């Protein structure tokens, strides 16, 4: 009897070891971007796009475009003084590849809105066929964050400057937590691009979301930077609606 119990114990341990290895492999594949569970329906959301920065290094835009990509948002600036070194090359390359292209500004809690707007406007051309300018609003440090009142005031300045310069309603990219803290019931006028990597975005956002970043660990051919992943996005609507809107 003790021998049988010992064998049973060993079998259970082996089963648990295999299960743990399988679970670990699934999580590793997800972290590496080889496996992703939060995939939008292709029939419901047929228009897909990417967002990139210097982290993707040299990008072969025709290769990217050939992987069912219709649009690209490209990092242009950050704060009041920083500019992405790959922006100009990515901007021209994506446009030449036939992608609908827009630029984004990484919003800083630490510098004046007016000089942030100056930084972006100096870097990004005014083109009638480009996507609207984007403000990337996200937490980038631990600890206390500015008050909602202060952030909304800065955002209102940026939104107005961008709208006046580019003639289009700007887009704000953000996470659920930033939306709740800074954008909900703010009265600001913008188009929403929401990050929701574990589930379909809520239908309760106001305004309703237009773009959805569903996978920040995507894998594609066509880039060679230190960052092996690329952000994947979907448009909320049909191809005809996308073309009519932008």
47-69: pLDDT as tens digits: 999 999 999 999 999 999 999 99
150-167: pLDDT as tens digits: 999 999 999 999 999 999
pTM: 0.86
User: Which tokens hold the place of 52?
Assistant: 């990139």
Question: 41-245 belongs to which CATH class?
Answer: alpha beta
> How many helices (H) and strands (E) are present in the chain, helices listed first?
7, 9
Q: What percent of the chain has pLDDT over 70?
A: 85
Alpha-carbon distance of 108 to 17, in angstroms, equals: 46
Alpha-carbon distance of 19 to 73, in angstroms, equals: 40
Domain chopping of the chain, boundaries: 1-31, 41-245
The whole-number average pLDDT for the span 211-216 is 97
Nearest-Å Rg of the Cα atoms of the chain is 21
């Amino acid at each position: 009897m003790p021998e049988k119990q010992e064998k049973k114990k060993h079998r259970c341990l082996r089963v648990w070891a295999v299960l743990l290895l399988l679970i670990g492999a699934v999580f590793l594949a997800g972290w590496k971007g080889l496996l992703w569970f939060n995939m939008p329906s292709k029939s419901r959301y047929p228009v897909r796009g990417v967002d990139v920065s210097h982290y993707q290094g040299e990008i072969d835009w025709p290769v990217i475009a050939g992987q069912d990509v219709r649009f690209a948002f490209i990092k242009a600036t950050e704060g009041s003084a920083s500019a992405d070194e790959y922006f100009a090359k990515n901007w021209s390359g994506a446009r030449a590849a036939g992608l609908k292209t827009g630029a984004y500004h990484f919003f800083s809690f630490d510098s004046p809105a007016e000089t942030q707007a100056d930084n972006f406007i100096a870097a990004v051309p005014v083109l009638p066929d480009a996507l609207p300018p984007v403000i990337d609003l996200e937490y980038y440090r631990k600890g206390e964050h500015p008050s909602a009142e202060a952030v909304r005031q800065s955002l209102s300045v940026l939104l107005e400057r961008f709208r006046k310069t580019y003639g289009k309603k700007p887009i704000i990219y953000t996470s659920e937590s930033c939306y709740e803290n800074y954008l909900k019931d703010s009265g600001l006028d913008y188009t929403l691009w929401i990050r929701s990597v574990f589930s379909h975005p809520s239908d309760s956002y106001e305004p309703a979301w237009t773009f959805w970043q569903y996978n920040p660990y995507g894998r594609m051919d066509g880039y060679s930077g230190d960052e092996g992943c690329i952000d994947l996005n979907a448009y909320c609507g049909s191809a005809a609606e996308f073309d009519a809107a932008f």
